[in-house]
Amino acid sequence: MGGFNPSQKCDALYALRRAVKDPGNVLQSWDPTLVNPCTWFHVTCDRDNRVTRLDLGNAKLSGNLVPELGKLERLQYLELYKNQLVGHIPKEVGGLKSLVSLDLYHNNLTGSIPPSLSRLSHLKFLRLNGNRLTGRIPRDLTKLQNLKNLDLSNNDLCGTIPSSGSFNKFTEKSFENNPRLKGPELMGSVRYDAGNCDQY
How does pLDDT run across 5-21, given as a tens digit for each residue?
556 677 889 999 999 99
| Residue 22 pLDDT exceeds 60 | yes
Residue 64's pLDDT is what?
96
In this prediction, residue 183 carries a pLDDT of: 75
Contact 35, 4 (CB under 8 A): no
pTM to 2 decimal places: 0.90
- Output 18 or 199, whichever has higher pLDDT: 18
Band of residue 154 on the pLDDT scale cut at 50, 70, 90: very high
Q: Give residue limits of the domains in the chain.
A: 12-186
- Tell me the average pLDDT of the chain: 90
- β-bridge mates for residue 149, sequence order: 125
pLDDT bucket at 200, cuts 50 / 70 / 90: very low
Beta sheet of 84-87, edge-to-edge order: 20-21, 62-64, 84-87, 108-109
**pLDDT (mean) for 24-47:** 89
Distances (CA, A) of 83 to 25, 86, 118, 132, 166: 14, 9, 24, 13, 29
Average of per-residue pLDDT across 26-52: 89
Superfamily grouping for domain 12-186: Ribonuclease Inhibitor (3.80.10.10)
